[in-house]
Amino acid sequence: MPNSQYAIDQMISAKSIAARVESLAKEITSYFKDTDKLIVVGLLRGSFVFIADLAREIDLPIEIDFLEASSYGNSMESSREVKISKDLAGEISGKDVLVVEDIVDTGHTLKHVLQLLESRKPRRIEACALLDKPSRREVDIKSRWSGFEIPDEFIVGYGIDYAQMNRNLSYIGKVRFI
């Protein structure tokens, strides 16, 4: 953990997150209603809490897989170089795919992942992000579904970390250095 001391101020409550996850799941279920199976791809590590809650609310046959991609490491700033350290276990060719991301910030990670997965020829591919920071976008990318638009703040909680800490918070909090 970094040597800096910090506090965490709540931005989005656990109750607000739960309500939004439920409504996102309804929209996703409606959009993919004609699928025989939806492959839900979680981007590790930040999306693991979100994908678990979202998957339980989606009323479709689903398969869950994971891909680990990162452009941050232990830093607060994106390196803009996306590294894939864990690829999918299954095939997505001809399948309906939903990529689940914790946060779309600069957009480099989501753009890279979508290009990689689109090259595998899925039937349909869409993205859902819990959080969106449009003020930080550096590439032209947008997820089809977004839980919350947030300002340019460094956040933690609900699976999102700062140097691998604070993923276990039930809410989204803003990091404030003291």
Q: What is the pLDDT of residues 2-24, one digit of tens each?
A: 557 999 999 999 999 999 999 99
Assigned domain for 29 exists: yes
Mean pLDDT, residues 99-107 taken together: 95
pTM of the model: 0.91
Active site residues: 105
Distance CA 29, CA 35 (A): 9
Assigned domain for 166 exists: no
Assigned domain for 177 exists: no
Q: What domain count does the chain have?
A: 1
Judged against a pLDDT cut of 60, whether residue 74 lies above it is answered with no
CATH number, domain of 51, equals: 3.40.50.2020
